[in-house]
Each structure stands twice: as C-alpha cells, then as structure tokens.
Amino acid sequence: MLNKPAQSTKKLMDWYAVHKRDLPFRGIDNPYFTWVSEIMLQQTQVDTAVPYFNRFIKRFSTVCALANADQAEVLKYWEGLGYYRRAKHLHESAQRICHEMDGVFPSDLKTIESLKGVGRYIARAIHSIAFNQPSAAVDGNVLRVISRLTGFDQDVMKPKNARIIEDTVNTMIPHATPRDFTQALMELGATVCQKKPNCAVCPLQSECVAFRDNRQAELPVVVKNTKKTEKSFHVFVVKYADKVLLVKRPEVGLLANLYTFPQFEGQFDAAKNAFENSFNARVINHAHAFNIDHLFSHQVWHLSVHLIECADYAGLDLVSLTNFPYAIAKAHLNIIDQLKEI
C-alpha cells in the first residue's frame, strides 16, 4: 500500500499531461476503438499495433461493419499480428453487440467482461478508458510499476497477489479522471518503468521503495511455470514460376483456418512421403534452406524449411502471394521474409 496515494496520483497525472504519447486510439470517444486497440495491444508492442489499428479501423469503422464482414477478411487484416484467436473473438463479439445489443457497445463492467476474448484486465481498461469509470485495470505494466513503487515482493502471477496490486491501484484512482489515470499508469510502465527502468526521469522516484532500496531488478516477482511443448516439422516450400503451394489449416485448433506451407512432423524421409501422398506429387529435388523457430504461448515449433522441386505441378493448387486474399500464419510469414533474403 502507498502512504500517500493521492500525492503519487497527482505527480503521475502531471507527468502524463506533459509526456503522453500521441496514439491514434487516444482521446477518441469511441468504446469500439478502445476495445480493438486493447485487444491488439494484449500481445503486441505499440509500434507494431498502430499501423494495424489504423488499417483495421479504416476498413471496419463500426462494430457492425466488423460483425458483417467475413471471418477470412478479418483474419487478413490481422495477418502478421499473431495470436489470431484475438481476431476471431473480436469478430464473434462484434456480431453479438451488433445483433443482440443494437450495435451499442455495452457500458456496464459485467457485460463488457462477458464478451468473448475480454478478460479481467481488458474489461476494466475499456470501462475506465472508454466510459471514464473508476475501474482498476492491471496489466503487466501496472504490475511492474506498483510492485516496485510499494516494494511488493510476492509472485504477481498468482491471482490473489494481483488483486492486492489492484487494491493499491484502487486507492490511487482520482474519481474525476479515471480515464486519464489508467492511461497514465500504463504509460509510465511502458515508457519509464520498463524492465530496465529509467528512474532518473520517473515522477514517482521519491516515494518508490524499489528505487530507495535499489531493488528494481528484483521486482516484480514473477514465477513462471509454463513449460512449452516442443514440436519439430519439415516445411516444404514448393515454388513454380511466381506461385507457391499453400494449405489451409483445419477449422479448429492452433492457427485454425489460416494458411501455411505444407508441413509434416517426423524424419525427413517420412515427411517427404507424407507430402507426396497428400498432394499426389513426386519430389525430384530438395534443398534445405534454413531452420526457424516459432514461439506460441504454450508451444514451440522448430521448423526445418526445404525448397522442393516436383516432377509435375499440374495437379498442385499453386497461388500467387502478391494477391493472396486469405491470412497466412505468422510462423510462415516469417519463412516468406527469410526466403526473400536467399
């Protein structure tokens, strides 16, 4: 807990008024925009998210414009951002808002939190930023700032400890301007109290326990226990003229409905046989190009990428990447990027 929360809040708000970044989703009184931006920022850095946000909002300017679009088009606008489930949930929730709520974004916290893909943090961020309500939105940035500020040395991954941080934030919220306060606290975490903090320019330095005790590197305490499953695949890049062979992933599961190059698990010869059987093709030449890893939240893919020459391309459904209308999985967009360099 803070000794003088109102004093810390005042310093934070004064700092924010001068130092806040100019972002396209700031200062716009539109809960739909706030929702889209918060979903995008969940797993993505601001600099990466901004152009995606601008393109997305230009095409899907209202919640009903998003609801009425095809999922394939929504995924295309998300292509490269990764964690595509976010886009699918956004689309499904937009349909619910458009068709069951007359297209009006809900303003009560419970309904916001009931939207698919909206968890505790995002619900409170929307409630606070879009509706100017005193809801404590605690994301990774806020966990870091408050842990250091108060010297909180318990594992913040545990919900009961995150709630203690939330309680501290609640003591700081100014009831006239919760919208600005929420963004100010996040902004401090994103730009000053980063993993390696810049305490010299921090407005809260004089009351920060971590700064006083030189414990910034120890806080916040994060105990990770997520062991990722490791999988290895051979990826077959079949290129003929200016076209390539892509396959659509199944409708459920990881990367559902997205497109990738054909990939198979196992030893190379078994993978090659599986490829030939799946596509009724005969490989006459192959060259290993490079290896690339892709990290998901609970899985790591080790991809061994091969350039493949087939005896005949007539039976293969090759496509041009230039105008390909569907979304390609980020793991394989990275392969396309590397192939350009070969």
Q: Is 191 in the site for ligand SF4 (CB under 6 A)?
A: no
Tokens of 177: 């301007």
Give the Cα separation of 25 and 186 in Å (integer). 14
- Residue 213 or 230: which CB sits closer to ligand SF4? 213
Binding of ligand SF4 by 210 (CB under 6 A): yes
Q: How many residues bind ligand SF4 (CB under 6 A)?
A: 14
Angle between helices 178-191 and 120-131 (to 10 degrees): 120
Instruction: Based on the shown chain and the rule CB under 6 A, indicate whether residue 205 belongs to the binding site for ligand SF4.
Output: yes
Smallest gap from residue 197 Cβ to ligand SF4 (A): 4
Is there binding between residue 169 and ligand SF4 (CB under 6 A)?
A: no
The nearer residue to ligand SF4, 202 or 305, going by C-beta atoms, is: 202
Q: Provide the sign of the torsion angle of the four alpha carbons 220, 226, 231, 237, taken in this order.
A: negative
Question: Which one among 185, 192, 303, 310 touches ligand SF4, defined by CB under 6 A?
Answer: 192
- Sort 292 into a burial class: Cβ within 10 Å, 0-12 / 13-18 / 19+: middle
- Least distance (Å) between residue 174 CB and ligand SF4: 18
Residue 287 β-bridge partners: 307
Q: Is 208 in the site for ligand SF4 (CB under 6 A)?
A: yes
Fill in the per-residue mask, 128 to 167: x = in contact with ligand SF4 (CB under 6 A), - = not in contact: -----------------x--xx------------------
Residue 212: which residues within 8 A CB-CB, separation 6 or more?
Answer: none
Query: Tokens 């030189």 — which residue?
Result: 214
Nearer to ligand SF4, 201 or 284 (CB): 201
Q: Map tokens 């980020």 to a residue.
A: 330
**Closest CB to ligand SF4 among residues 67, 202:** 202
Q: How far apart are CA 132 and CA 276, in angstroms?
A: 59
Of 2 and 118, nearer to ligand SF4 (C-beta) is: 2
Active site residue 38: yes
CB neighbours of residue 93 within 10 Å = 22
Nearest alpha carbon to residue 327 among 91, 69, 81, 58: 81
Catalytic annotation, residues: 38
Residue ranges binding ligand SF4 (CB under 6 A): 145, 148-149, 192-193, 197, 199, 202, 204-205, 208, 210-211, 216
